[in-house]
A and B are shown apart, each in its own frame.
Chain A
Amino acid sequence: NAGVTQTPKFRVLKTGQSMTLLCAQDMNHEYMYWYRQDPGMGLRLIHYSVGEGTTAKGEVPDGYNVSRLKKQNFLLGLESAAPSQTSVYFCASSRPRPSEQYFGPGTRLTVT
């Protein structure tokens, strides 16, 4: 099993460009999450999903959109990238409570 995978691993964008980050999990987990990690800030939740076709906002959702058309995939979109979105993005998945979250390897995004 691959667990949680993220595509791409690195990306550089110019301000105003758009992109989509892909997260895939092969553990048949119901729940999926997108976090961003910034120096000294820990991990902050952007959006999450409790099942196929459902999404909800987390702590820092502005500037991002998500979709979960298939149970195993969770996409994070940036419609118009800004330098403040320079960060490391982590996807995670989990079973319903009680359960720990399993994380992907991360995507390092730089917006210039």
Chain B
Amino acid sequence: AQKVTQAQTEISVVEKEDVTLDCVYETRDTTYYLFWYKQPPSGELVFLIRRNSFDEQNEISGRYSWNFQKSTSSFNFTITASQVVDSAVYFCALSDPQGGSEKLVFGKGTKLTVNP
């Protein structure tokens, strides 16, 4: 069965620090997709990135970067020079393509607090 583990329940940093959020997944599928979502205090879920299992290139978007390593089944998320606005709960998710759908299995989330 698909599984996503986010071992860090809460992280607290001071503004401008770099922070890495860990995500480890389990799947028997050879083709799969990984996602990161952000849930700010306002409660909505914001899509950040999608990565397919055939593309192990790291991705960078501004202060955000993602490190995908199939060998360790990990898809870690790094925020460089964190800001207060980065405070949120971050969810990692794995595709579960059963029944013709694109279901997602979510980790339990990591709550990031960035202090000024």
Q: Which residues of A contact B (CB under 8 A)?
A: 31, 33, 40-45, 48-50, 56, 58, 88, 90, 92, 94, 96-103, 105-106
User: Are A42 and B102 also in contact (CB < 8 A) when A100-B35, A106-B43 are?
Assistant: no
Q: Are A100 and B50 in contact (CB under 8 A)?
A: yes
Residues of B within 8 A of A48 (CB): 99, 101, 103
Instruction: Give the complex CA separation of A45 and B95 in angstroms.
Output: 12
Q: Which residues of B contact A (CB under 8 A)?
A: 9, 33, 35, 37, 43-45, 47, 50, 52, 91, 95, 97, 99-104, 106-109
Distance in Å from the Cβ of A40 to the closest Cβ of chain B? 6
A56 is contacted by which of B37, B47, B101, B108 (Cβ under 8 Å)? B101
Q: Are B44 and A101 in contact (CB under 8 A)?
A: no
Q: Are B102 and A96 in contact (CB under 8 A)?
A: yes
User: Are A99 and B91 also in contact (CB < 8 A) when A40-B108, A41-B108, A105-B43 are?
Assistant: no
Instruction: Give the complex CA separation of A94 and B69 in angstroms.
Output: 26
A97-B97, A103-B37, A103-B44 given. 19 additional CB < 8 A pairs?
Answer: A33-B101, A33-B104, A40-B9, A42-B91, A42-B108, A45-B104, A48-B99, A48-B101, A49-B101, A50-B99, A50-B100, A97-B33, A97-B95, A98-B52, A98-B102, A100-B50, A101-B104, A103-B45, A105-B43
B109 is contacted by which of A31, A42, A99 (Cβ under 8 Å)? A42
Instruction: Give the complex CA separation of A101 and B49 in angstroms.
Output: 11
User: Are A50 and B101 also in contact (CB < 8 A) when A97-B33, A97-B95 are?
Assistant: yes
Instruction: Give the complex CA separation of A44 and B106 in angstroms.
Output: 7
Residues of A within 8 A of B99 (CB): 48, 50, 56
Instruction: Give the complex CA separation of A50 and B102 in angstroms.
Output: 9
Instruction: Give the complex CA separation of A21 and B50 in angstroms.
Output: 28
Instruction: Give the complex CA separation of A63 and B44 in angstroms.
Output: 25
Residues of A within 8 A of B104 (CB): 33, 43, 45, 101
